[in-house]
Structure 1
Amino acid sequence: MNHINKTKVTFFVLSGLTEDDQLVPFLFTFFLIVYLVCVVLNLGMIYIILTAANLRTPMYHFLGFLSLVDLVYSSAVTPKMLADLTTKLKLISFEGCMIQFFFFDLLVVTEAILFSTMAYDRYVAICHPLHYVSVMTNKKCSCLIIFAFSGGFLHSVAQTSCVFSLDFCGSNFIDDFYCDTSPLLNLACSNSLLCNYITIFAVISCGMGPLTMILVSYGLIIFSILQIKSTEGRMKAFSTCSSHLMCVSIFYGTVFFIYLQPPAKVLTKQEKVASIFYTVIIPMLNPLIYSLRNQEVKRAIRGALHRCL
């Protein structure tokens, strides 16, 4: 299956999560539970934000779209990963790989840009509280949401078009459980220099760009919080952005671990674990962190449960 041939590749073989059959039942059960929890939490967060009167602010408007992105981008990878755990031969068609690659790329970049818009929202709320309503208008929030999805779409179109226009005429074995940039570029038997440049540009513009905005926003936020004289006032100001800061740290910490390493033909166990965390666990953690650490979300959840009961 992995030998070099001169016919065009029509499908790929994925390595999957493990080759140990004894681990399969545990992994399948664990990740099925994680995925179901992810779906319930993100759908629940969207419902709470749409129905709770106290969550009608721009911050929760962005959080609702973040939950939507998490829900869909987890669904782009996890169901296929679960299905592959039940089969010996883990196949994905060329078109299926391209579709998975496109949606995963689109939604991850969109999430990174959403995180930066949420950081900007916290900056305005803490550093310019008197002008918050006039600055963060409904029109501006909608434009920021459209910008996030447009940025993700344009990046994904460029990346997908470049990668899947290459010739794959040799090995069709992907040493991963989903279609990602580095394993696919390793398989290409045509010149992938342009794709490498596009990937570098994408990392700088869609990865480092939003991160820079987040760091600048939080630098100004920290400076503003330090000007508050009372300890209670400082804690209250910091608590409004602690959930977001935790989600951003987990997201970028995992991304950097995966993508800021020299490309290798074979993934290490640590890289595969990081990929699992990045694709499966993080979409579940984001709504969980906001549910546990945000007092307004807690009140909204209690109100929703009270109405249901």
Structure 2
Amino acid sequence: MDATATATVRLTQYARGGGCACKIPPGELEAVMAAAGLPEPARRPDGELLVGTENGDDAAVVVTPGGTTLVMTTDFFGPVVDDAYDWGRIAAANALSDVYAMGGTPFVAVNLLAWPRESLPMELAAEVLRGGAAIAAEAGCHLAGGHSIDDAEPKYGLAVTGQADPEHLLRNDAGRPGMPLSLTKPLGLGVLNTRHKATGERHPEAVATMTTLNAAASRAALASGAVCATDVTGFGLLGHLYKLARASGVTAVVDPAAVPFLDGAREAVRDGFVSGGTRRNLAWAGPHTRFGAGVSEDERLLLADAQTSGGLLVAGEIPGAPVIGHLAPRGEHAVIAG
């Protein structure tokens, strides 16, 4: 396939969903994890698992016998935009984000690639990998090899190992009443990506947001003395707030008027470009949330919007990030919005 033909391929038409909106619904995932009986953190002679599956945090953290603290994660998904290079950059930034959300620094990553060889040209796969390599280089993270399979649906992401200071981790169970809540990227990525998939309309601001690393936000959070954070991805702001509040034993209070949104996000919701993942997020977090009388259904959907490569949600104030609420003593609801 020549370059002109390759440029006309709409990659999003080869994906059933969009980016992190394809996550298994959080309630179903927790049931599966419970049924699997995965081990809790334990002291072992070959190292100590500091963060495991107990609170659904962003990555695993383990201390090796030599005293090095490693942060490990993986993330991959189908095309969220039609441009192959941009998709590679977005997927890589999203995978690296879990390390930043724990207060770590990515050190080495490997590629994860699924590709329908008979229906999509390998030139596009090369562009995806090139995009991932560009973001890894920007992050100062080694990218070495990986694994690929022939699959009916294209998927791409990274498995990432980072390093961290065990005394300065960012965890989702370390929130305490009185801490402010800061959000480092605007919401609306999910609805804009859904619009792009349906219409082909490009949203450069959304692409720029998704390809921005959370490295500076993570460093700023640590410099401010923050100990509690998570990133806002497929479970939406409400879902990740609920997980943080539940893990920390607090209530998260959010002012919807203070939450930043990308240009066009409200119009996308109004026009019906809402993913199934977003609606599932609202169905899961909604029963644990008390909405103010003035919070419309559209605003609720935006607060639950499934983000791809979203920002950090930090229990603390950091420069340049709006404060959208605070943590309060645990009450009847885990989240209060409005």
What TM-score results when the alignment is normalised by the length of structure 2? 0.29
More strand by share: 2
- Which structure exhibits the higher relative contact order, with contacts defined as CA atoms closer than 8 Å and separated by 6 or more residues? 1
Q: Report the structure, 1 or 2, having the larger helix content.
A: 1
- TM-score, normalised to structure 1, is 0.31
